[in-house]
Structure formats: C-alpha cells, structure tokens
Amino acid sequence: MGRGRVELKRIENKINRQVTFSKRRNGLLKKAYELSVLCDAEVALIVFSSRGKLYEFGSSGVSKTLERYHRCYYTPLDNSVEHETQSWYQEVSKLKAKYEALQRTQRHLLGEDLGPLSVKELQNLEKQLEGALAQTRQRKTQIMMEQMEELRRKERQLGDLNKQLKSKVPSVCSRGRTISLSGHGWRQ
C-alpha cells in the first residue's frame, strides 16, 4: 500500500532535512542513471546541498554535456544577436552618413563651406541653384497671376455693384429727393 501525499514545505528539523536530502538525492541520481541507460539519453545532473556540497552525475561526463548544451542554446543565439546588433550598427552608420551628406548639401546650397568643392562640384551646385531659382520664380509668377485674377474678379464684382447703384440713383432722384456728393459723405 502506497503512502499518502507528503506536503511540500521546508523541513524544519535539521537532521530530518539532511536525511531526506540524502535519500531523495540518491533516488534522483538513480533515476538519472536509469534514464540514460534505458533511453540512451545523454543526462547531466548537478545538485548542491544546503551546505554547498556538490553532487553530480553525467552519463558521458557533466562538463561534456554542459559544453554541448552551451553550443546548442547559447552560440546560435549569440550569433543571431551579434548579427542583428551588427546589422543595426550598419544601419545607424548608413543613416549617419546620409544625414551628414544632407547637412553638407544644405550648407553648400546656402553658400557656406564651398572651399573644398572642385570646379565640377561647383558647376553642379550652380545648376541645382539655377533650377531651384527657376522653380521659385515660376511658383511666384503663378501665385501673382492667381492674385491678379482674384483682383480682376473683385473689380468686376465692384463694377457690377457700382452699375446697380448708379441705376438706382436716378429712380431715387425722380421721387423728389436730391442726393449730392459733398465732403465726406452723402447728403439728402
């Protein structure tokens, strides 16, 4: 007949705790050995007692199994992380170089720091500036034309309104009222 479940909590009595550790450690080592023999598995077991004493079992040596574990789980991950880190550094370097080139170009377009430029680079810069100036003038002309058209439209509206007002003036005069312009305003 089997024993009932044992409540898992720290054993307070030091001697009982040491005896239980010894028995369970031996059982754990036996199970590790059985697993390695029955299943042809490579097993490594490391146990430290509460006093810091080391107990170990390795079917083909603990250090050999740990090296294999390290190669399987840490090296590919490290290479992956290292590769990703390298990729980010390259990306940052490219962006930094692009940023510096844009700053140089901006300074050149503003007429600053032109000393180190060759004649060909200065000619290219001149062409860029002429192109930008032509686009600026074209846009300015377009805006001025739109504004002139708007002013003409308003002028036509005011002219139409003026004609309407002039046509109403004779009808007001014919009713016996006299309107004259003098000074700053209208007088009746």
Query: 180, 169 in Cβ contact below 8 A?
Result: no
pLDDT for res 146: 97
- At 53, phi and psi to the nearest 5? -75, 140
**Distance in angstroms (rounded) separating the CA atoms of residues 96 and 178:** 81
Answer positive or negative: Cα dihedral of 4, 10, 11, 17.
positive
pLDDT for res 172: 63
pLDDT for res 105: 86
Per-residue pLDDT of the chain (188 residues; tens, 9 = 90+): 567 787 788 989 999 999 999 999 999 999 999 999 999 999 999 999 888 899 998 888 888 988 888 888 765 555 677 788 888 989 999 999 999 989 988 888 888 888 888 899 889 989 999 999 999 999 999 999 999 999 999 999 999 999 999 888 876 666 655 555 544 555 44
pLDDT for res 75: 59
**First-to-last C-alpha distance (Å) of the chain:** 128
pLDDT for res 121: 87
Task: State pTM to two decimals.
Answer: 0.39
Task: Summarize pLDDT for 131-171 with one digit per residue, the tens.
Answer: 999 999 999 999 999 999 999 999 999 999 999 998 888 76
**Distance in angstroms (rounded) separating the CA atoms of residues 55 and 46:** 6
